[in-house]
């Protein structure tokens, strides 16, 4: 009976498991680094099917606590049992914020908490709270660092499909929709060839010290344009790092790496593209904050500044992820 | 401010509009049959962006009432205004069950109410209520008929991806998931070559006379197998018809027609496939009813019966769409 509620979760978890880049990064960072896990107490936040807890148990952890709020954890329990790890792994259903672990401190926190645009619908707040409450003073975070990157792009095909489409829809003028569509960032896998600027670091989070309040941020960027082209907007992606590993491991969602289910996030300049010349500099500020009315949404403001012989462009636009 | 809530609706409506098979079937049935619309009062249930209301106005309707509950209707109002049809089209935000139209009767009801598997998350109940309340005795329904079809299939690739996948997930035995995945019908576009039986009518709804209670139904099917193969389950799809048109128009979601966003729905036999010989007969009952606990979900029970020289198979399985 319980199970039926978790139906909808099959597909989500199946898709996440089938994202090889994602799952293998965690697998390698755990299974290839048994020395870090042997005899340790591990907390897996948002354990889903239990896959990371099982990796940790196989890596020699003394005990693993997996916490998840969704009914998928009922399946996780069956899976743990069938893999003969019931004595090594304790699964607890509930919100991480609300459950009480049977231990005071843990040595390692593993969690796959990242959302689109790193922060959208992410569990990071809840991971940081758990870190402050449970992680031993010499404890380790897996991953331990996250970095966001920014570059510029031009993709006429997407632009036509996404904006010009509304100009004539089966003979009907729906162009008034466009102004609203601009406000919506596009989550999609960018073809490398559409990136026309260098990519630069936007912001870095040290997951062992970052505070929840740091997650609303303003960051500056400055990047060089790589070819004569047009800039239609900026594209943002992230990497997370497992630096305690013998061979440091990076889980990257870059358009220059293999595709993941997170893809990248594109922010279009409203109604315009900026003609650019190789060597031009694009710069500006990116401000991200949780929406006050609905903290699950993100309010994002991006400034685009570019000067060259012919152009003196400096505008800001607001976007909402919801 | 209002608008932000309807952000999420952009993509849905964009995807529906970009489904050419869908939108063109409505467009042709309305715009190529102006004689039916001239001087008529039309009700568009679930008007979304207003596209069907605008078609009806262009076809010469005296007045069109469009009803939708979602904030997308705020955009629809702007669109109607920009297309200079504000005097012909009145848009009303609200649930069809709850709004009061300013007219007692309408001559034509148009609505794109169909869901996956025809009935899942469909608006049909609400369309039938509106029909009984508002449609003139000689009024027309667009579409006026709906038919569901059934056939048998075999697709090893999907089977492996969907079920065998769980046997070993990065070295972890998750096979206990399979029993639950079987209960979930798969909505996907079937390659024609995977259909290995004749397709037959499962049930037909005359939308001018059908009652809400008829939508929970039990229907029988009997179909001939077309080639030596295996049967892994049955596949169900639907067509709707606009028979008042000069040239009757059919909107088909058949795997033998062009793909639509509805695709088809596949029901897998649990843990087995049935070896079949060309000419064999597969038959059984299909029972569909709204879930009592949660009427938005569908409970479906399917019987699979097949006898030949070597096989005497007769089993039933339950599925849930949610
Ligand atoms: N506040 C919270 N407390 C507990 N679990 C949470 C949570 N917020 C999200 N989750 C859970 O976090 C999981 C993230 S998905 C990751 C699943 C699994 N660790 C894997 O790598 O495959 C989801 O199953 C979700 O239900
Ligand atoms: N009970 C109800 N009352 C009013 N609108 C409803 C409804 N149930 C669903 N809807 C609306 O029905 C629409 C169906 S989608 C079809 C949109 C449009 N007619 C087109 O063809 O493009 C959605 O916009 C949804 O918000």
Question: Is the Cα torsion angle B215, B218, B224, B225 positive or negative in sign?
Answer: positive
The answer to whether B82 touches A175, Cβ cutoff 8 Å, is: yes
- Say if strands B106-111 and B135-142 run parallel, antiparallel, or are unpaired: parallel
pLDDT over 80 (residue B1): no
| Per-residue tokens: B35 | 């004689």
Residues of B in contact with A184 (CB under 8 A): 7, 10
Any ligand 2 atom below 6 A from CB of B190: no
Residues in chain B: 322
Q: Give residue B229's pLDDT band: very low, low, confident or very high (50, 70, 90).
A: confident
Which residue is it, tokens 């936040």? Answer: A45
Q: Bigger pLDDT: B87 or A72? A: B87
Q: Chain-centre distance of CA B105, in angstroms?
A: 27
Residue B71 contacts A where some CB pair is shorter than 8 Å: no
User: What pLDDT is stored for residue B9 in this prediction?
Assistant: 55
Best of A7, A172, A178 to disrupt the B interface (most B CBs within 10 Å) is: A172
* Mean pLDDT of the B191-205 span: 93
The answer to whether B120 touches B290, Cβ cutoff 8 Å, is: no
pLDDT over 90 (residue B151): yes
Helical H segments across chain A, by residue range: 2-5, 7-18, 20-31, 34-37, 51-58, 72-82, 124-134, 156-162, 178-181
Q: Give residue A1's pLDDT band: very low, low, confident or very high (50, 70, 90).
A: very low
| Contact flag B14-A165 (C-beta cutoff 8 Å) | yes
Which member of A54, A83, A177 has the closest CB to residue B75?
A177
Q: B112 an active-site residue? A: yes
Count the Cβ atoms, other than its own, within 10 Å of residue A169.
20
Q: What is the mean pLDDT of chain B?
A: 92
Question: Is the Cα torsion angle A104, A106, A111, A117 positive or negative in sign?
Answer: positive
Task: Please tell me the least confidently modeled range out of A174-178, B127-131, B203-207.
Answer: A174-178
The answer to whether B83 touches B54, Cβ cutoff 8 Å, is: yes
- Say if strands B145-153 and B200-206 run parallel, antiparallel, or are unpaired: antiparallel
Nearest CA to ligand 2 atom 2: B95
Helices (H) and strands (E) in chain B, counts: 9, 17
Task: Determine the Cα–Cα distance for residues B76 and B61; give it in Å rounded to an integer.
Answer: 18
The answer to whether B261 touches B13, Cβ cutoff 8 Å, is: no
Q: Give residue A48's pLDDT band: very low, low, confident or very high (50, 70, 90).
A: very high
B204 φ, ψ to 5°?
-130, 135
| Contact flag B75-A320 (C-beta cutoff 8 Å) | no
User: What pLDDT is stored for residue A227 in this prediction?
Assistant: 83
Q: Which atom of ligand 2 approaches the CA of B53 most closely? A: 19
The answer to whether A191 touches A166, Cβ cutoff 8 Å, is: no
- Of B202, B168, B193, B210, give the one whose Cα is nearest residue B282: B202
Planar angle of CA B181, B183, B185, nearest 5 degrees: 90
Residues of A in contact with B76 (CB under 8 A): none
pLDDT over 80 (residue A123): yes
Any ligand 2 atom below 6 A from CB of B43: no
Q: What global pTM score does this model have?
A: 0.61
pLDDT over 70 (residue B294): yes
Task: Determine the Cα–Cα distance for residues B226 and B242; give it in Å rounded to an integer.
Answer: 31
| Per-residue tokens: B183 | 């209960």
Q: What is the pLDDT of residues A221-267, one digit of tens each?
A: 999 998 888 899 999 999 999 999 988 899 999 998 889 999 999 99
Residues in chain A: 322
The answer to whether B316 touches B306, Cβ cutoff 8 Å, is: no
pLDDT over 90 (residue A2): no
Task: Determine the Cα–Cα distance for residues A255 and A270; give it in Å rounded to an integer.
Answer: 23
Of B54, B68, B128, B262, best ligand 2 pocket probe by most atoms within 8 Å of the beta carbon: B68
Question: ipTM, 2 decimals?
Answer: 0.52
Sort B281 into a burial class: Cβ within 10 Å, 0-12 / 13-18 / 19+: middle
List Cα–Cα distances, A210 to A111, A128, B19, B221, in angstroms.
16, 8, 46, 62
Planar angle of CA A131, A132, A134, nearest 5 degrees: 65
Task: Determine the Cα–Cα distance for residues A5 and B181; give it in Å rounded to an integer.
Answer: 13
Residue A173 contacts B where some CB pair is shorter than 8 Å: yes
Residues of A in contact with B30 (CB under 8 A): none
B222 pairs with which residues across the strands?
Answer: B283
């Amino acid at each position: 009976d319980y199970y039926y509620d978790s139906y909808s979760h099959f597909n989500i978890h199946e898709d996440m498991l089938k994202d090889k880049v994602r799952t293998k990064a965690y697998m390698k960072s755990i299974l290839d680094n048994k020395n870090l896990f042997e005899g340790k107490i591990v907390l897996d936040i948002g354990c889903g099917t239990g896959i990371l807890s099982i990796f940790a148990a196989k890596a020699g952890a003394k005990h693993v606590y997996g916490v998840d709020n969704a009914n998928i954890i009922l399946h996780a329990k069956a899976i743990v049992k069938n893999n003969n790890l019931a004595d090594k792994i304790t699964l607890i259903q509930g919100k991480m914020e609300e459950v009480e672990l049977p231990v005071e401190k843990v040595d390692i926190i593993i969690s796959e908490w990242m959302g689109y645009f790193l922060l959208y619908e992410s569990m990071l707040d809840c991971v940081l709270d758990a870190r402050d409450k449970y992680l031993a003073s010499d404890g380790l975070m897996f991953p331990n660092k996250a970095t966001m990157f920014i570059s510029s792009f031009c993709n006429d095909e997407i632009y036509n499909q996404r904006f010009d489409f509304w100009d004539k829809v089966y003979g009907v003028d729906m162009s008034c929709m466009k102004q609203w569509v601009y406000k919506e960032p596009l989550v999609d896998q960018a073809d490398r060839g559409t990136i026309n600027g260098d990519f630069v670091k936007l912001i870095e989070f040290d997951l062992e010290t970052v505070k929840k309040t740091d997650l609303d941020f303003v960051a500056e960027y400055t990047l060089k344009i790589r070819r004569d082209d047009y800039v239609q907007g900026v594209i943002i992606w992230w990497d997370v790092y497992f630096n305690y590993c013998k061979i440091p491991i990076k889980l990257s969602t870059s358009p220059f790496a293999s595709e993941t289910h997170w893809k990248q996030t594109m922010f279009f300049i409203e109604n315009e593209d900026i003609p650019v010349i190789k060597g031009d500099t694009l710069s500006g500020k990116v401000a991200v904050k949780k929406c006050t009315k609905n903290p699950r949404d993100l309010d994002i403001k991006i400034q685009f500044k570019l000067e060259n012989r012919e152009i003196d462009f400096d505008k800001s636009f607001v976007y909402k992820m919801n």
